[in-house]
Structure 1
Amino acid sequence: MAMNPPDSLKQTTLSHQQYRVPDYECEKPAAVHTAFHRILAELNKPSTNYELSFANRLYGDQSIAFLQKFLYCALKLYLTEVYGADIHNAPEEVRRLINLWVEVQTHGKIQDLLPKNSFDCLAQLLHVNALYFKGQWDVKFDKELTKVDRFYLTEDVCTNVQLMYRKGQYNIGTIEGCDVQVLEIPYRNNELSLFILLPRDCDPESLQQLEDGLSYDQLLNWSCILKPEEVEVVIPKFRVEKSVEVNAYLDLSPLTDPEKADLSSATTTEGVALTQLVHDTFIEIDEEGGEEAEAPICPGDRRPRQEPKAFLANHPFLYFVLHKGTQSLIALGKFARPE
């Protein structure tokens, strides 16, 4: 039995059965949008080495008339669907449906993205973006070695976390000009790596200075200065979720201010502006990964073994996940106050 979609959520689709969709030129010559498309296409390839789920969708009130080319290019370049929803008459129902869609897209990890009363019947455009990531280490951590221990918020204040332990070969180095260790922990097949930036001390100012001076180029440069060494690694086992309204961090007035916004390339409806852009990231770090290969037996090797370097992440640090093939940052965060 065929069922019609609810009036509160009518998908704006490109139906080949109703009419022939022209092959629009979304960007000519190819530039930044096409480059982002290549990155997203690479990241969305199926993999058993990690879980990476995106939920990216633009919701517009059903009174807004979107241009066909905009719908086509948003989907082609950014894998972003545009939905028409009855926001004006049923904002609460639309909110619940958005939350359910995000939950399904992230396999139940991200729930209740939009809290009650996060928007009202006057909303026009809602852009929701969510990401869930969990990788499989190239070599797993032994769960039996994970133990609850102290994590220092400052030199005098601490709390308890689960700390994972492993000794092995890792790329490690120190940032010149500041006393910060950098460690790379690769995921399976070296498609991605977790990088941890660890100040030597617990001083909150040291971490803040490091954070304030960050740039994409710096992070890439630091990831290239590391050298393989024997390392005793101690890092927290954690899961972090962070939800933000991007409006609070970036000046989006060219999109959110009805007097400034020019969305004529997206819609023929006048006076349309972006109401809200919400982003949520959920990342999990645990012991799971591949098995360690057996070390070769060299009975004649009598060279003295060097003591392994210590990497003890028992105080606040920064981290990022890098996709090697596209040089893209999947996640960038701070582990400072465990919950």
Structure 2
Amino acid sequence: MDDKIKVLIASVLKPADDVRSCYKIGQSLAQTNKYEVNIIGFESKKKVENENIFLYPIFKFQRNSFKRLYAPVKVFKKYLKLKPQLIIINTPELLWVMFLIKILFGTKIIYDVQENYQFNISQNQIYRGLPKYLFKYYIKITESLSRYFVEGFLLAEEVYEQQLSFIHHKPYIKLLNKSILSIKQEIEPLTLSKNNPLKFIYSGTIGAEYGTLDAIELCKKIHYFNSKITLIIIGYSADSKYLKIIEKAVNKVAYIKLITNNKPIAQSAIIQEIKNSDVALLPYRLNPNLAGRFPTKIYDYLALHIPMIIPPHPEWKSYLHQYSAGLTVDFNTPDVERLQKELHNSSFFVNRPKEEILWKSQESELLHFVEKILS
């Protein structure tokens, strides 16, 4: 008789094989052989090589589709079939159905807080006027009520501890999005030769606030001085208008390659491109909703010993400085000549990252937290 504890991880807009849900939280639980992990998410054709993880890619719709309103119902139906002892959700629109499940069945619930959703709605330009106000108020009420129904919270960013008041009514742990990659073993510090072609990469979400166009413009300026450089842009964009701007910007530019799709790119494909690159670009716009946050990709670049070019973000700069892992540039008005000199005259990774950048450094805390919730 299989007496494993059933866990359901549910998201609306993340793929079923989402890295955090599947390969971080899911894998950590599954490898103990105490848990059967079931993950609901967006469409995904990938299979996970773990006998204790099962994927249910039950969602397939556009971000603003009316089908999204039916998502909580589909989650509820799947819950009735699986009957898990624990549910972990990371989408606020699923909270209402979780409240219902809690009332009817008493199931343990953990809210994995991956965004400050209220603040994001205030800052972004997707919603305007009355819809923006109503959506923000809806999220505020829902998350405030969560304190009465969930057993605990997982925080993907340290800054949420100060920003989000509702989490302080229940137990929580900070579970940062550290890397699941193996740390590249290098003996000598890394230098970038002037004589070799320089491969830049922009990976992850393609969007205005992420500065994708700024990465392109920077590489065009660098190419004026050094014709040996190339740029790979690999990622997904939910903003079709912005994606057209990017496609136009790289059209007929031989040294820039755009790799994208109408759904999220497999993480394995992104990691392979990163491994083949020399320098990573993180041209984030320093908007208020970025303050205090830490992009997941920084941990992956550190693990693979890829030097980074970042905007003048003091916390990122300080963090990378301890490893000699990056350079700072103002992407709006870059000093390209200075940047090139720094790239070729610097020694990177003088101090090598260790286990502190890896997901497994916080794995035991997660397992202990889940055990305590279930007990």
Q: TM-score range by the shorter chain?
A: under 0.3
Q: Point out the structure with the larger helix share.
A: 2
Higher relative contact order (CA 8 A, sep 6+): 1
TM-score normalised by length of structure 1 = 0.25
TM-score normalised by length of structure 2 = 0.23
Q: Point out the structure with the larger strand share.
A: 1
